[in-house]
Structure 1
Amino acid sequence: MSHVLDYYNHLHTIPELGFEEVKTSKFIAEKLAEFGYTNIQTGVGGTTGVVATMDSGEPGPTVLLRADMDCLAHNIDGEVVLRHTCGHDGHSSMLLATAEEVIKYYPVSSGKLIFLFQPAEELGTGAHAIADAGVLEGVEYAFGAHVRPIEEASNGQAVAAIYYASSATIQATFTGVTSHAARPHLGVNALDAAVLAINAVNTIHLRPTESYSVKATQFHADSGVTNSIPGKAFVTWDLRAQLNPTMKELHEKVITAITNAGQANGCTVEYDDSKMLTAAEHNEECIDLLKEAISEVLGDENMVPEVITPGGEDFWVYTNRYPNLKAGFFGLGCDLKPGLHHPDMSFDTSALENGVKIYLTVLKNLGMID
């Protein structure tokens, strides 16, 4: 047995938001050094990212294993509470335990092995920052994992491929002119423009054979008093599409709709659409490697068919930035309930040991460790 539960029990108590994982990354870097890794990078790309590398010096593939580190913020009874309700503490624990097992018992005999602890997955910008730092240069294979809801996989099961959708966030600011509510003709009502934009977006229709959705998730407009027309309004939209070309079309139409709606009401419109996650593009060789590993660790009967989900995952930014990268991403069954991102999310932590074994088996089958 590895020490994965020890690491989880600690990381679970120090939840930190994206790009603020200071205590988390410090703990991980200290443990990697304690294990015996000498090639450790911290503050990767000016972030809290941590990278540890083991180079055999012998010919072979360059393989990257990646885990995310950040938590979520929940508004509970009027108080903002930080909690690990997406399982990233479990992901980091699995990867940390895998790194320990490798250096202690399975020295890398060929190629180069990279352990990446990535910040800010929930923000959708962590993978971009890591890619910008050049961590993926020369990497041939990349693998990641995510704990799964009980509806998809139970404890003792695993999924060889999770087909995440493309997801995007558009945050628009509508700027009009504030005026007294008794003299609306002297102002430009940003709230009206925002409402018109929401309705305009709701009229967007793409081919019904393609899976997609778009909906407003936040709306703020308040001049500070009840008898004043607001001069600013803020709306956030969430976009989802199972295929990357569908997302491109949806994104363009949403931008057109909100821009035209705002201008029709006399408002200027500015928007931030920097949060864009690519749909999953699994490599068939990686799927086969993960299927083989799951079969060896858990048995064929506990391999769940590939899962299609409307959820997003910024791991796939890497394949978008590096089209020749061979990537695989497995789902770990762990009796997770009532659901990801729920403030009371919990799972059977004994499943984390299975994740460590699956990672190690993939490395063995790639010929990197004995």
Structure 2
Amino acid sequence: MNGLKERVQETFDHFHQNPELSWEEVETTKTVAALLEEAGCRVRTFDDCTGVIGEIGNFGEGRPVIAVRADMDALYQEVKGELRANHSCGHDAHMTMVLGTLWRIQQQPELLEKIGVRFIFQPAEEVGSGALKLVEKGVVDDVDYYYGIHLRPHQETPDGKASPAIVHGATGSIAFDIRGDDAHGARPHLTHNAVEIGTYLINAFHTIHLDPNIAHTAKVTRFLAGGRNVNIIPGSAQLALDIRAQTNELMEQLRERILEIIQSARDLYKVEINITEDFGIAAAEVHPEAEEVARQAIIRVLGEENLTDPIITPGGDDFHFYTIKRPQVKATMVGLGCGLAPGLHHPDMTFNHDALMNGISVLSEILKLHAEGVAKP
């Protein structure tokens, strides 16, 4: 146990000190692939993208296929005055816990005879496109149950506790350009003021009223217009919105209303408005059977007193694209309390590294439960 804990800490330190951005996880892929091979996994990498898959156990007919996912990429942010890649969302910890789970179960041949285990190290979660790419690669086509794990901030889940499901909301972004000609400040009739059009749009977005019983927000997070000379009326501007809803259905309603408002501005001002980005991540579709297995694993490992309710959060994760695109996959994501502070994505985020062993124990117990036959494919 002590040897495993030391190896886990060394592995975490390596990933933490060598972060790589989305779709650039080249060295991380090589490192993980080597560790998977060393542990006896069948390893698969890809010619056109980063990411790596490791398989161990019995993939024979009638055996359940259980997948465990770790995201690999870091964020790009300012850390102590320097813009650089930084693991402030816990992906270094997620990779470490999934590898630790492999190291734990590779010594249990009786378990591996009963199930096939696929470890999926996924790139580009932070840009919301890695899961979709791996779905295209067919990595979950034969998967029965799929588990993820994510560190949770201390305000949400206390250290030492864990949740059997993270109910992420749907998230999205819509960006657009207002395109027109500048004019002299003395001749406002020769153009449409892009600042005024942008202000009209912001006020109109605030009139969107959807079901108040389901959490949702739409907020402008970018508004760029004008230049150094204040006597020029700007004809062009750039705006962007961050949009969130707790369900996929409400997100689609929210998105449709935003696009309708943008069209109304085109019609009212007779101006060109081009959508430059329209992107979203699906809300969680947690399967009750997978959640129940995770719940039992947490109770066995941490005790019932350290089991928390499913976490409902407006944050998003592209993990949920797997079940949206392949509905036969029964999935959940475990939320791990670890004393994380000040919060996810904070450049100086820290957490209790001892919690890594809790995550490894919970994931290992999930696989053990499947080997015991508590859930059928």
- The TM-score bracket by the shorter chain reads over 0.9
For 1:100, the equivalent position in structure 2 comes to: 103
Work out the number of aligned pairs and report it.
367
Structure 1 residue 147: deviation in Å? 0.4
Considering only aligned residues, what root-mean-square deviation do their CA atoms show, in Å? Answer: 2.0
Structure 1 residue 52: deviation in Å? 1.2
For 2:308, the equivalent position in structure 1 comes to: 304
For 1:85, the equivalent position in structure 2 comes to: 88
Contact 2:40 2:56 in 1 (8 A): no
Contact 1:123 1:275 in 2 (8 A): no
Which structure 2 residues correspond to residues 1-370 of structure 1 after superposition, within 5 A?
1=1, 2=4, 3-37=7-41, 39-43=42-46, 46-58=48-60, 59-75=62-78, 79-106=82-109, 108-223=112-227, 225-367=229-371
Sort the Cα spacing of 1:222 and 1:23 in 2 relative to 1 into closer, same or farther, 3 A.
farther
Q: 1:249 is matched by which residue type in structure 2?
A: Q
- Identify unmatched segments of 5+ residues in structure 1: none
Q: 1:13 is matched by which residue type in structure 2?
A: Q
Deviates more, 1:97-106 or 1:120-129: 97-106
* Over 6 Å off, 4+ runs: none
Structure 1 residue 105: deviation in Å? 3.9
Deviates more, 1:317-326 or 1:93-102: 93-102
* Secondary structure class of the residue paired with 1:167: strand
Q: Map Cα deviations across residues 120-144 of structure 1 (whole Å, 9 max, x no partner).
A: 1111112111112221212111100
Sort the Cα spacing of 1:181 and 1:368 in 2 relative to 1 into closer, same or farther, 3 A.
farther
Q: Map Cα deviations across residues 32-89 of structure 1 (whole Å, 9 max, x no partner).
A: 122222x212236x22111112251433111111011111122357642322111111
Contact 1:60 1:368 in 2 (8 A): no
Sort the Cα spacing of 1:303 and 1:199 in 2 relative to 1 into closer, same or farther, 3 A.
same
Q: Map Cα deviations across residues 307-339 of structure 1 (whole Å, 9 max, x no partner).
A: 211111111111111122101111001001111
Q: Map Cα deviations across residues 172-213 of structure 1 (whole Å, 9 max, x no partner).
A: 122122333343333333333222212211111112222111
Deviates more, 1:313-322 or 1:110-119: 110-119
* Secondary structure class of the residue paired with 2:118: strand
* Secondary structure class of the residue paired with 2:30: helix
* Secondary structure class of the residue paired with 2:146: strand
* Secondary structure class of the residue paired with 1:287: helix
* Secondary structure class of the residue paired with 2:293: helix
- Identify unmatched segments of 5+ residues in structure 2: none
Q: 2:136 is matched by which residue type in structure 1?
A: D
* Secondary structure class of the residue paired with 2:274: strand
* Secondary structure class of the residue paired with 2:46: strand
Structure 1 residue 14: deviation in Å? 1.2
* Secondary structure class of the residue paired with 1:354: helix
Q: Map Cα deviations across residues 201-248 of structure 1 (whole Å, 9 max, x no partner).
A: 111111222211111112222446443333432111111111111111
Q: Map Cα deviations across residues 137-179 of structure 1 (whole Å, 9 max, x no partner).
A: 1211110011011122222211111111111111112212233
Sort the Cα spacing of 1:113 and 1:253 in 2 relative to 1 into closer, same or farther, 3 A.
same
Percent of matched pairs sharing the same residue: 38
TM-score, length-scaled by structure 1:
0.93
Sort the Cα spacing of 1:262 and 1:196 in 2 relative to 1 into closer, same or farther, 3 A.
farther
